Structures are given as C-alpha cells and as structure tokens.
Amino acid sequence: MTDIPRNVEIATRTLGAIAQMDRDRVREMNRALASSYQQLDRKLLVLVEAGIRDPDSIQTQLKKLNELTNAIAVVNPDAIAVYERKLENLITEGQKYGIDMLEQTVRAYERETPQFLGNVAIEPAANQVSSGMTRLRNHSDRAAQNINRLMTNAILTGQGPTKTAKQLQQQFGLLKSRAENIARTETMSAFNAAATQRFSGYGIKYVQILALLDDRTTPVCRFRHMKIIRISESQPPYHFQCRSVSMPLKREWLTEEDLKFAGKEYAKTAGNGLNQAGIFERLNNIPPPNPIKIDDFFKN
C-alpha cells in the first residue's frame, strides 16, 4: 500500500473507522475532529506568531492538521471548504511572519505517501467515541459524555496521559489518582481495541497476552500471561491500571523453543482456578478469554 497518497489513506482509514457507527456517534466523531482541529490550529498560530522557527514541530502540527482535514472531508464533507480556507489562512499568516515553509509543507503533504500509520490516531479515537461511554458507565451520563469527549480530543491531538489527567482533574474536579487512572485506562483501551481491529485486517487470528509480572500483577493477569487467545476474545486492559498487552501472533512466527517456553508458562498456572472474568468483562458482560492449548495452536 506504499503508493497510496497519504490523503487517500487517511480518508480510507476514516471510512473504515466510522463504518459501524450510528448517526449519533458519527456526530460525536465529527465534533471531536472539529475541536481537535481548532486546538491544533490555535497551537500552530501561536508557534507561527511567536516567530518560532522550529521546522520540525511546525511540520508535525501541520501534518496533523492535514490529516484531520482529510478525516473531516469524510465525516462532514459539507464543512471541507471551511477547513481548506483555514489552512490557506494559516499559510498567509505564516508568510506575514516570514515563514514560507508552511505552504511547502502543505503541498508536499499532498504528494506524500505513508511510511507509517498516521500521526493522527483516527481508529483509537473512533473506538473512544464508540466504546468509551460503556467503559465510563460508573459515572453519570453527563459526566461520562464530557470525559469521553475530552479523551477523544486528547487521542486525536496526541496529547499525553499526564496533561490529559490534569485537565480531567481541573475540569471535572476529580481526584488526581482517579484522573490519572481514567486517562491511562481510556487511552490504552482505545489504542488496544484499534490495534486488534488492525491486526485482524492483516489476517491475524491469534494474539498472545503479555502481562508485566511483579507484586502489582493481579491474579487474572498472572493467569493470562503468555496465553494464546483468538483475536475475537476479550483483550487487555482487563481492569483499571492494567499493564497487560496483547501481541499479534502467527504460527509461523514461533520457533519450537518459543512454543516450549509458552508451554512451561501455561503449566505454571494450570488448574489454579484463576481463569475468571476480569472487571471489564464483568462490566461489559463478556466471557473471559479461553486460552487455546499450545498443542492445538501448533496443529493450526
């Protein structure tokens, strides 16, 4: 897919990300894209007006703006003229301050081909819009919606969990630990779910769960460490502040040694009765994953 122009690639990914959404969610997605655009646009103007000639950071911001414009073109085609005008304004503004590279960057972007998945996390943001409300359902509807919007924006603008937690704290009066918890868990859930979808697009059928093993590891995650599960089954995070992740797995990627090692890990937790549902599984009413036996995976 290396010869697909970047703008087409973003548009295609956005189409994929909103394909399963109902009208309300598409509206939420549109809202998030628009406010993220505004946020980045403002940030870029400040950089330009301050006369900061930091080509790298200006270029990164501009690329994000371009990607957001391409995504908005899919979600809200009627608004596209407005955003194209905004980009032109930005270029004009840059020229006023003697920064000519804005135009070159925008033009170059249009010809650029993707070397890596985009700067703007379209798929994780779409997951936040679609599933965040369920994950946040121990809050009131109003609070969950506001937190979800803040999280979606944070994902789209690429803001880190520390700053996001601070905003959650300030805007919703949450305790610091609670705010950090939400910022981390939501970001991780959204990115993990998006990764799962992306893996399945590449013909991946299995993932292996990797837990971080120390004295904070929960029994559920200890049990699931190294287990191979089908991609359709429950994936981490399994609880608040969960540090487990899942890795895509294909039989041909593993050596005999890898399988033997996984077998030993399986044996450590065999019959200890800890294969129970995690908190998110109980909240979302989904079954715990059913690890596939090493021998069965070997046969596949």
| Identity of the residue, 139 or 222, whose beta carbon is nearer to Zn ion in the bound complex | 222
Residues that bind Zn ion (CB under 5 A): 221, 238, 242, 244
Provide, rounded to whole angstroms, the least separation between the CB of residue 195 and Zn ion. 16
Closest distance to Zn ion from the beta carbon of 244 (Å)? 4
Strand partners, 248: 207
CA atoms within 13 Å, Cβ hemisphere of 93: 16
Measured at the alpha carbon of residue 70, what is the angle toward residues 19 and 117, in degrees to the nearest 5? Answer: 75
Interior CA angle at 190 toward 116 and 193, to 5°?
A: 80
Q: How far is the CB of 245 from Zn ion (least distance, A)?
A: 10
Task: Write a three-state SS string for 268-293.
Answer: HCCCCCCCCCCHHHHHHCCCCCCCCC
C-alpha 116/C-alpha 1 separation (Å) is: 11
Contacts 24+ apart (CB under 8 A), 297-300: 297/206, 297/228, 297/251, 297/259, 298/251, 298/259, 300/251
CA angle, 254 then 258 then 264, to 5°: 140
Rounded to a whole number of angstroms, the minimum distance from the CB of residue 287 to Zn ion is 17
**Cβ closer to Zn ion: 151 or 242?**
242
Cβ-based nearer residue to Zn ion, 199 or 223: 223
Q: In terms of CB distance, is 64 or 135 closer to Zn ion?
A: 135
Smaller CB separation from Zn ion, 34 or 210: 210
Separation in Å, CA 184 to CA 143, 181, 252: 17, 5, 33
Question: Is the Cβ–Cβ distance between 215 and 192 less than 8 Å?
Answer: no
**Min CB(240)–Zn ion separation in Å:** 9
Q: Which of these, 209, 215, 217, lies nearest to 265 by C-alpha position?
A: 209
Token code pair at residue 94: 């840059």
For the bound state, the minimum distance from the C-beta of residue 220 to Zn ion, rounded and expressed in Å, comes to 7
- Report in angstroms how near the CB of residue 182 gets to Zn ion at its nearest: 16
The nearer residue to Zn ion, 83 or 191, going by C-beta atoms, is 191
Residue 206 or 238: the one with the smaller Cβ distance to Zn ion is: 238
Closer CB to Zn ion, residue 199 or residue 238?
238
What order do you get walking across the sheet with 228-230 strand by strand? Answer: 228-230, 206-210, 245-249
Write down the least CB distance from residue 97 to Zn ion, Å: 49
